[in-house]
Structure 1
Amino acid sequence: MALESKQVAAALANYVIALANAADTTKRAEDRAVYAKLLADGGVLLAMATRGDPEAALLEAVAKHQRT
């Protein structure tokens, strides 16, 4: 099943916004570095989806992100 580029980009945009909101509202200082890393990765994933990178490359990047 092929991924729809616009749907993937929209989902990733929502994910990045949710991460930003969580980072802004966390009261745990030790979580801030984790959120910063997740936000950086999320931004790269969003960029890949937006520019239409190959599905295999995006899925590989998502798998790497999930191991973070």
Structure 2
Amino acid sequence: MLYAHEVILNELAQGRRSTTEGIEWFESLPEDDQRKTLLALVADARAATSRRQSRYRDLGSAACF
């Protein structure tokens, strides 16, 4: 189950919400929720980077054979 902030971040990433909507939404959050949202965004970015690096390593290994 996704949390509300995860759904909104996902919609922003997919272009289903405008950047202006995202900024307005984020600025309307209490400071603690802004912090939690940023931490979730950082975690998602790190996970995406890790998956991408892993995929490239896998492709590089396959090319060696």
Same fold (TM over 0.5): no
TM-score (norm 1): 0.40
TM-score (norm 2): 0.41
Which structure: larger Rg?
Answer: 2
